[in-house]
Amino acid sequence: MKFDLISIFPEYFSPLKLSLIGKAQEKNLVSIAIHDLRDQADGVHKSVDDTPYGGGAGMVMSPVPWGEAIDQVLLGSSAAIHDLIILTPAGQKLTQSLAQELVECEHLIFACGRYEGIDHRVTRYYQTVPHVRVREISIGDYVLGGGEVATLVIMEAIIRLIPGVVGNPQSLVEESHSLPEDAVEYPNYTKPAVWRGLDVPEVLLSGNHALIKAWRNDQALERTQKLNPQTRG
């Protein structure tokens, strides 16, 4: 799976060297290339933004360097389909099922805008380009300073679903959002059996797998109700 990330702050992506995603790269399960948008900007100031047509506060990113940067990435790829992800708080909300859909993609391009976002013609133009699917994605109902952190979140959600990335694939099957009820995960315990006067729930020490399963199910449903009663459980 190939990832191309475009940003004016390439250093934002240094955490990708670490942990799960770092290992996935070492194992060649994913390949990640980072591109500096300013390499496509002209003039002494290498400016990538301008004032909005129609007035208003803030600056809008120019479609010109974005078009150059995305075209260059597309030209350098032999993938049959390219998914161009434009990060914006106005996009489709990231969910576990969207992550599961994205892990099936061959080539993901992340366009990380800053300021008031990218000139909307970038979305409109690439919607007309054959073999490119444009997806505007948000990681939640709040406004970040740019798309870089959102990209890290989405990549972590996707990459851990690639077979071979997470050590024990059963943990993916068992975990919260894969439960049919869409419940959150049950609470987990490990050794020691008593810590600061607190015991591990007796049932977990019973060795009775049916009882443990039923207890975990109840706990998951109870937590789901408490955490998010409107949308879950």
Handedness of CA 164, 168, 169, 171 (dihedral sign): negative
> Interface with ligand ADE includes 53 (CB under 6 A)?
no
Residue number, 13 or 186, with CB nearest to ligand ADE = 13
Q: How far is CA 208 from CA 7, 186, 201, 204, in A?
A: 52, 17, 13, 8
Q: How far is CA 108 from CA 60, 133, 146, 225, 231, in A?
A: 23, 10, 18, 35, 30
**Which of the 8 DSSP states describes residue 15?**
G
> Interface with ligand ADE includes 138 (CB under 6 A)?
yes
Residue number, 67 or 89, with CB nearest to ligand ADE = 89
> Interface with ligand ADE includes 224 (CB under 6 A)?
no
Least gap, CB of 146 to ligand ADE (angstroms): 6
Least gap, CB of 23 to ligand ADE (angstroms): 26
**Interface pattern 87-126 for ligand ADE (x via CB under 6 A):** xxx-------------------------------------
Handedness of CA 178, 179, 185, 186 (dihedral sign): negative
Which of 22, 58, 140, 201 touches ligand ADE by CB under 6 A?
Answer: 140
> Interface with ligand ADE includes 147 (CB under 6 A)?
yes
Residues 6 or more apart whose CB falls under 8 angstroms from that of 153 comprise 94, 139
Residue number, 86 or 165, with CB nearest to ligand ADE = 86
> Interface with ligand ADE includes 59 (CB under 6 A)?
no
Residue carrying structure tokens 């350098």:
76
Residue number, 68 or 116, with CB nearest to ligand ADE = 116
Q: Do 106 and 80 contact (CB within 8 A), yes or no?
A: yes
Token duo for residue 14: 């240094």
Amino acid in the structure at residue 30: V
Helix (H) or strand (E) holding 154: helix 148-159
Residue number, 112 or 165, with CB nearest to ligand ADE = 112
> Interface with ligand ADE includes 150 (CB under 6 A)?
yes
Phi-psi sector, 58: left (phi>0), alpha (psi -120 to 50), beta: left
> Interface with ligand ADE includes 144 (CB under 6 A)?
yes
Residue number, 69 or 150, with CB nearest to ligand ADE = 150
Token duo for residue 158: 């996707």
How many residues at the interface with ligand ADE, by CB under 6 A? 12
Q: Which residues bind ligand ADE (CB under 6 A)?
A: 87-89, 138-140, 142-144, 146-147, 150
